[in-house]
Chain A
Amino acid sequence: DQQVKQNSPSLSVQEGRISILNCDYTNSMFDYFLWYKKYPAEGPTFLISISSIKDKNEDGRFTVFLNKSAKHLSLHIVPSQPGDSAVYFCAAKNQGAQKLVFGQGTRLTINP
Chain B
Amino acid sequence: DADVTQTPRNRITKTGKRIMLECSQTKGHDRMYWYRQDPGLGLRLIYYSFDVKDINKGEISDGYSVSRQAQAKFSLSLESAIPNQTALYFCATSEPGTGIGEQFFGPGTRLTVL
Q: Which residues of A contact B (CB under 8 A)?
A: 4, 6, 9, 32, 34, 36, 41-46, 49, 51, 89, 91, 93, 95, 98-100, 102-105
Contact = CB atoms under 8 A, between A and B. Distances in A.
Nearest to A105: B42
Contacts of B42: 4, 6, 89, 102-105
A89 B35 CA distance: 14
Contacts of A102: 35, 42-44
Nearest to B96: A98
Given A42-B108, A44-B90, A46-B102, 17 more contacts: A6-B42, A32-B101, A36-B105, A42-B107, A43-B92, A43-B108, A45-B105, A46-B103, A46-B104, A89-B42, A91-B43, A98-B98, A100-B103, A102-B43, A102-B44, A103-B42, A105-B42
Interface in B66-114: 90, 92, 96, 98-108
B45 A104 contact: no
A43 B101 contact: no
Contacts of B43: 44, 89, 91, 102, 105
A34 B90 contact: no
Given A32-B100, A100-B101, A9 B40 contact: yes
Contact of A104 (B4, B41, B58, B92): B41
